Amino acid sequence: MTAPFTQVIHVPPMAGELTGSWFRRMALGYKLPPQDLVRAITGARITGTPRTGIELFLNSPARAAAAAFSGLEYGRLATLLPSFASTHERLTDETVPLAAWYAPQQAWVAACPPCKGRAFSPGQPVLLYPGHSGHICVRHQRWLLPSSVQAASIKLESFPEVTAAHRHHSGLGRVSAQAHLAVIFAAAVVWSWQIQGWRNEEIWNQRTSRLARATGCDRSTVAAHALVTYPETIAVARLLANERWQHRLREQATNAGIPAATGMLLAELARRTNRPWLADWLTACGRLSRRAGKHAAEADLLTRWVTALTTDCRTGPSPPADLWTVPHSAVRPLHYSDRSSFLIDTSPRAATELARNASLAEGWEPAQPLPALHKAPCR
């Protein structure tokens, strides 16, 4: 316990919580502004404010002070708070305690209130890093959204296909070490479909309308949200990561060639995504792309994937290292406005602003995370 506090108020950090969220909740307990609490606990010189950055980054001396104050072991804090032991590139001076409020380096969400029990406060939600598939509360059927001032979520009662996809997503993560890469690759595949056939696609149009109703926003605001294509993304990822299917495709390529194996894959994808026309449509799109001069491998990610899976003597149990590589030009855009600009006729900037106000932008995405911060060693 350090000088300015006359009473210890225990506010345990939650697993996966943002360090800044933990400090905000402690400040609430002590009835102090978060900035004053950070200064009192760590003695740090602070850059930014809780208004300018959601996440709080500390250098080593400030981390040691925070651990001493909390009464928890440093390693325990580092386990619970994913960014606690990270050294931000702008906080490399280790001679004096330093702290800074910056943007989180990964997607974050407000935790599901009923799941957080006493840790929940109406004006101060627990903010969490959802990781690969923690963006949905299975128990309460909510898609969790990024809001630092209130618990924000999309109720999923009217999206049974989304909750089903999430079950498969979680299951995929348990059985496949390649799950995360497969989901990123699948997101790029589905994005390539979305920008080619969006306006005529009945299932996505219908889901977009349901999402607009569920959020109280208009269709152009929600069009770029990850929920719209989540079921198809997980369906593609599951199939591509399935080792039995990989084996079947290798056999088909050996016996009948890569186009036949690709056709087999497309037929199964058509079945799993409930789009009987998918194989013909993708084949036609591929022809058009080649006529338009696009590099075939980039224009058709699935053909590229089948080729990588089946070429040469790649018959061992492990998939080739480049199997999940997505060409830069084919990556699903990470930013909401970049996606909106492909999907709507109205201003993507205005749609993104509305989406941000509704906490629909900047949440969980099936995307490549930013490079991990350097982790300081546990003390």
Residues in the chain: 379
Number of residues that bind Zn ion (CB under 5 A): 6
116 vs 294, which CB is nearer to Zn ion? 116
Applying CB under 5 A, the span of 111-119, 127-135, 219-227, 289-297 interacting with Zn ion comes to 111-119
- Residue keyed to tokens 């006729």: 345
What is the nearest approach in angstroms of Zn ion to the Cβ of residue 166?
13
100 vs 137, which CB is nearer to Zn ion? 137
Q: Are 366 and 183 in contact (CB under 8 A)?
A: yes
Q: Which of 326, 302, 362 is nearest to 135 (CA)?
A: 362
What is the nearest approach in angstroms of Zn ion to the Cβ of residue 140?
3
Q: Does 10 bind Zn ion (CB under 5 A)?
A: no
Interatomic CA distance for residues 136 and 142, integer angstroms: 6
Interatomic CA distance for residues 263 and 249, integer angstroms: 10
Q: Which residue stretches of the chain are H helix?
A: 19-30, 34-42, 60-70, 74-80, 113-116, 160-175, 179-197, 202-215, 219-222, 230-241, 243-256, 258-272, 278-291, 296-299, 301-310, 336-343, 348-357
Six token digits for residue 327 = 């060409």
Q: Are 146 and 20 in contact (CB under 8 A)?
A: no
What is the nearest approach in angstroms of Zn ion to the Cβ of residue 258?
45
Interatomic CA distance for residues 277 and 267, integer angstroms: 9
Near Zn ion in 148-207, by CB under 5 A: none
Dihedral sign from CA coordinates of 246, 247, 251, 254 = positive
132 vs 140, which CB is nearer to Zn ion? 140
Chain residue at closest Cβ approach to Zn ion: 112
CA–CA–CA angle 280, 229, 279 (5° rounding): 10
Give the Å distances, CA to CA, from 211 to 9, 51, 206, 225. Answer: 41, 29, 9, 9
Q: Does 112 bind Zn ion (CB under 5 A)?
A: yes
140 vs 272, which CB is nearer to Zn ion? 140
What is the nearest approach in angstroms of Zn ion to the Cβ of residue 111?
8
What is the nearest approach in angstroms of Zn ion to the Cβ of residue 81?
20
133 vs 208, which CB is nearer to Zn ion? 133
Q: Does 109 bind Zn ion (CB under 5 A)?
A: no
Site string for Zn ion, 113-152 (x = CB under 5 A): -xx---------------------x-xx------------
What is the nearest approach in angstroms of Zn ion to the Cβ of residue 116?
8
34 vs 363, which CB is nearer to Zn ion? 363
Applying CB under 5 A, the span of 2-10, 110-118, 150-158, 224-232 interacting with Zn ion comes to 110-118
What is the nearest approach in angstroms of Zn ion to the Cβ of residue 132?
18
111 vs 228, which CB is nearer to Zn ion? 111
Interaction site with Zn ion (CB under 5 A): 112, 114-115, 137, 139-140
